[in-house]
Amino acid sequence: MRATTCTSPSRLARITGTATAVLTSVALLSGCGLAPATSYIPAAGPGTIEAIPGAEGVEVTVTGRNNTEGLILGKMAVLAANAAGFEANDLTNVPGSQPTRSLMLAGNADVIWEYTGTAWLSFMGHTEGIPDQNAQWQAVHDEDLSNGLTWGAKAPLNNTYAIAVTNETAAKFGLSTLSDIKKVPAAERTFCVEPEFNSRPDGFAPMLAHYGIERGTAEGVPEANIGLYDVGAVYSATDSGDCTFGEVFATDGRIDALGLTVLADDQQFFPAYNVAPVFNSEMLVQFPELEEIFEPLSPLLTDDVMRALNLQVDVDGRDPADVAFDWMVEKGFITAGAAL
């Protein structure tokens, strides 16, 4: 069994001072064993994910963030590891991206579902994202190898910024892409955006410029047509008609719940934020099969699938672990196991 209770000095040396402080705070809250805030997980047996020889009794620690999508994906990883015969340590539900990154760098976690854009811009410090999804994945894959992390195959799921309209508005003006914004008369080009998106260098004003629309002019988007909202309020404001266009996240379950249409980024402005499993490279040396059990999951995780799964938690009130379990059973990856 791999010990995951304390930080390996050689791995810790690669962590920045800030990340070390974050990791220390997590450890102080939960002890050297880094116990999760919640570890409920349905019991899973092998399906198309088969038991890996030698995995029995070997601990694999899965981490993930404490938002809805992070919890669902994290529970999928725990279920997959259990079905493969590992003893999965559920360290999901961690608050924030930097703490989970620190756990991975320190060797205190072995698997996480991570976003290519987050790694490139937030963790690696690059100032511009790469809109091409394959190129962005390759860039983070290559750079993270020196950090002792190996990126698995990316999913189609691309949880980037997006612009949405109601289904009725899409039908009225024939909207399907961001280029179609110009089809809407300037007086009706009203936008609901959150303050961060409004001021980001990869946010609202640069997006308009990229699509040939001037901000602050009567012919483009008048300043009076721009409303600043809290991130959650954007969805209801767009749905209720307070604005024609709303800034959203592409995989948010409220998109489907409210009947919104996401406009395709046809000129590739937004950076790619594809999700992919990331592994402790040392663990893969011992068990290369661990990466292989995730390969069939990634292609099925699309924006539409993730929105539907997120909706079950955020709108229907289901537990993320149950949502992950039912989806993986439906796809045949796992079967219902004996009670843990």
- Domain-by-domain residue ranges, the chain? 9-157+276-336, 161-263
Q: What's the pLDDT score for residue 30?
A: 37
pLDDT greater than 70 at residue 273? yes
Distance CA 280, CA 293 (A): 15
What's residue 3's pLDDT? 31
Phi first, then psi, for residue 317 (nearest 5°) are: 80, 20
Position 257 pLDDT exceeds 80:
yes
Residue whose C-alpha is closest to residue 263's, from 136, 199, 154, 169:
169
Q: Provide mean pLDDT across the span 248-258.
A: 95
pTM over 0.85: no
Domain covering 161-263: architecture: 3-Layer(aba) Sandwich (3.40)
DSSP 264: B
Return d(Cα 340, Cα 334) in angstroms, integer.
Answer: 15
**Radius of gyration in angstroms for the set of CA atoms belonging to the chain, rounded to a whole number:** 21
- Give the lowest-confidence range in 13-27, 28-42, 279-293: 13-27
Q: Which residue has the higher pLDDT, 112 or 30?
A: 112
* The pLDDT of residue 29: 36
Higher pLDDT, 20 or 295: 295
Residue whose structure tokens are 């995780």: 301
pLDDT of residue 10: 28
CATH topology of domain 9-157+276-336: D-Maltodextrin-Binding Protein; domain 2 (3.40.190)
Q: Report which DSSP code applies to 182.
A: G
Question: What's the CA angle centered on 279, arms 142 and 140, to 5 degrees?
Answer: 25
pLDDT score, position 38: 54
Share of the chain above pLDDT 90, in %: 82
Per-residue confidence (pLDDT) for residue 338, from 0 to 100: 54
Taking 60 as the threshold, does the pLDDT of residue 1 lie above it? no
The pLDDT-based confidence of 22 (bands split at 50, 70, 90) is: very low
Report the pLDDT averaged over residues 273-289: 97
The amino acid sitting at 113 is: W
9-157+276-336 and 161-263 share one fold: yes
Q: Is residue 212 predicted with pLDDT exceeding 60? A: yes
Closest CA to 314 of 42, 39, 71: 71
Task: Answer whether 46's CB lies under 8 Å from 55's CB.
Answer: no
16 pLDDT exceeds 80? no
Report the Cα–Cα distance between both ends of the chain, in Å, rounded.
19
Query: Across residues 138-150, what is the average pLDDT?
Result: 98
Please say if the pLDDT value at position 6 is more than 80: no
Per DSSP (E only), the strands in the chain are: 44-46, 59-65, 87-94, 111-115, 149-151, 161-166, 191-193, 226-228, 245-249, 260-263, 275-280, 334-336
Q: What mean pLDDT do residues 165-188 have?
A: 98
pLDDT in tens, 320-336: 999 999 999 999 999 98
Contact 155, 272 (CB under 8 A): no
Query: What pLDDT is attached to residue 196?
Result: 87
Per-residue pLDDT of 69-110, as tens digits, reads 999 999 999 999 999 999 999 999 999 899 999 999 999 999
pLDDT tens per residue, range 154-174 = 999 999 999 999 999 999 999
Q: Which residue has the higher pLDDT, 10 or 129?
A: 129
Q: DSSP readout, 118-148?
A: HIIIIIS--SS--SSHHHHHHHHHHHHGGGT
Average pLDDT along the chain? 88
The DSSP output letter for 177 is B
Q: What is the pLDDT of residue 269?
A: 94
Residue with tokens 């994945």: 137
